Amino acid sequence: MRIAVLSETDGAETRVSATPETVKKYKTLGADVVVQAGAGAKAGIPDADFETAGASVAANATDALKDADVILKVRRPAEGELSGAKPGALVIAIMDPYGQDEALKALADAKVSAFSMELMPRITRAQVMDVLSSQANLAGYRAVVDATAEYGRAIPMMMTAAGTVPAARIFIMGAGVAGLQAVATARRLGAVVTATDVRPAAKEQVESLGAKFIAVEDEEFKQAETAGGYAKEMSAEYRAKQAELVASHIAKQDIVITTALIPGRPAPKLITRAMVESMKPGSVIVDLAVERGGNVELAQAGEIVDHNGVKIVGHLNVPGRLAATASSLYAKNLYAFVETLVNKDTKELAVKWDDELVKATCLTRDGAIVHTAFQPTA
């Protein structure tokens, strides 16, 4: 069994899909691991560290792909990137499959079995494979760090001989994994923290971290969570009531961090131009959904926009701003999944195609798109 670890071709991607730690684990599964030269450079992992762990280093992607049974990446392979991959090889990555019909067709045409890690079901045995949670956790932490860096004042209350510095007020919009980590991080820094979410379960979680929960708690709010634990899209009436509450609250905040995403849909707009203009100069907004169209009307992907003195931070690939930690967690997510695809006795790949994890994540197989959610309509 040969496992190939490819470099990322997207210039904004700093993460790598394996680490020396997981290379050693793959070796115990009986795998030969080949790492493309420079794959870990942006995450601070030199080729020599992979070699010390037991991997061989290939000069280029073509050499790394040759005869590989499993191909590991962070992002979906770009067009032509799998040229030379053998038919039936397993390609495992964050595939971002929604609305990517041509890209999925290209994966099918490459005759590989493509697995999308972000489709992993939220069940107990798959928690260790949950890339959305591992990466969102870091994004929530980094969002607070980035906001603090742009905010020209201290975060905690400070009592000095020269006078008292008031604590910064930080508002987190969306209390999923990223939002809750942002709440916890902002609390650790000493801010006065509030948070909102459309899911009722979030209230208790927010309050358990010492923050105040802000929401219109009507009947629709009580039913606003899917069976999978995601937020539902709310009605126009609810959104209007919530927006009114949030607008008055935002005007008093120093930092706002938005984290709201709905799988397969554009990010919901939470902050309008008028809300931005209600904030004091020197305030900061961090939009973690900017790559999906953004929660903030004035946000620009990859830029920090200054609007009337309010900074709107729209960094791309926020987990990748903590490349070493993000790679470590992502690589462990991948290993946990790959381990389920290997027969421990024969040390060979033995994919159970009817396993619920495989069925939930497999996009393409035998030249066709097999995932029912992404099959082309006639």
pLDDT in tens, 69-90: 999 999 999 988 999 999 999 9
Task: Judge whether residue 125 has pLDDT over 90.
Answer: yes
pLDDT in tens, 290-303: 999 999 999 999 99
What integer best gives the mean pLDDT of the chain?
A: 94
- To the query of whether residue 146 is one of the catalytic residues in this protein, the response is no
What the block records as the tokens of 126 is 């798959």
**3-12, 98-107, 230-239: least confidently modelled range:** 230-239
- To the query of whether residue 230 is one of the catalytic residues in this protein, the response is yes
**25-34, 243-252, 320-329: least confidently modelled range:** 243-252
Question: How confident is the model over 210-224, as a mean pLDDT?
Answer: 85
Percent of the chain with pLDDT strictly greater than 70: 97
Residue 18 binned pLDDT confidence (cut-offs 50, 70, 90): very high
Which own/partner pairs from 241-244 qualify as long-range (CB within 8 Å, at least 24 positions apart)?
241/216, 242/196, 242/198, 242/215, 242/216, 243/270, 243/272
Q: Which of 130, 146, 254, 287 is catalytic?
A: 130
Task: Judge whether residue 168 has pLDDT over 90.
Answer: yes
Q: Is 38 left (phi over 0), alpha (psi -120 to 50) or beta?
A: left
Question: How confident is the model over 201-214, as a mean pLDDT?
Answer: 95
pLDDT (0 to 100) of residue 234: 78
Task: Judge whether residue 190 has pLDDT over 60.
Answer: yes
Residue 331 binned pLDDT confidence (cut-offs 50, 70, 90): very high
User: Residues near 187 by Cβ (< 8 Å), separated by ≥ 6?
Assistant: 193, 209, 210, 211
- For residues 148 and 221, the model is more confident at 148
DSSP 8-state code for residue 60: S
pLDDT (0 to 100) of residue 10: 94
Dist. CA 35–CA 63, nearest whole Å: 10
Task: Look at residues 331, 316, 245 and name the one whose alpha carbon lies nearest to residue 72.
Answer: 331
pLDDT (0 to 100) of residue 105: 95
**1-15, 217-231, 359-373: least confidently modelled range:** 217-231
Rounded alpha-carbon distances, angstroms, from residue 61 to 76, 92, 95, 133, 176: 15, 16, 19, 29, 37
Give 165-186 as a 3 state SS string. Answer: ECCCEEEEECCCHHHHHHHHHH
Task: Look at residues 283, 292, 223, 287 and name the one whose alpha carbon lies nearest to residue 251.
Answer: 283
Q: Which of 230, 278, 300, 321 is catalytic?
A: 230
- To the query of whether residue 130 is one of the catalytic residues in this protein, the response is yes
Determine which helix (DSSP H) or strand (DSSP E) holds 55, and give its type and residue range. Answer: none
- For residues 265 and 366, the model is more confident at 366
Do residues 209 and 182 make contact, with C-beta atoms less than 8 angstroms apart?
no
Helices (H) and strands (E) in the chain, counts: 12, 19
Task: Judge whether residue 223 has pLDDT over 80.
Answer: no
Q: Which of 127, 208, 235, 375 is catalytic?
A: 127
- To the query of whether residue 283 is one of the catalytic residues in this protein, the response is no
Q: Which of 17, 36, 116, 133 is catalytic?
A: 133
- For residues 224 and 235, the model is more confident at 235
pLDDT (0 to 100) of residue 231: 65
Dist. CA 189–CA 299, nearest whole Å: 25
pLDDT in tens, 269-291: 999 999 999 999 999 999 999 99
Do residues 358 and 351 make contact, with C-beta atoms less than 8 angstroms apart?
yes
Q: Which of 63, 122, 187, 239 is catalytic?
A: 122
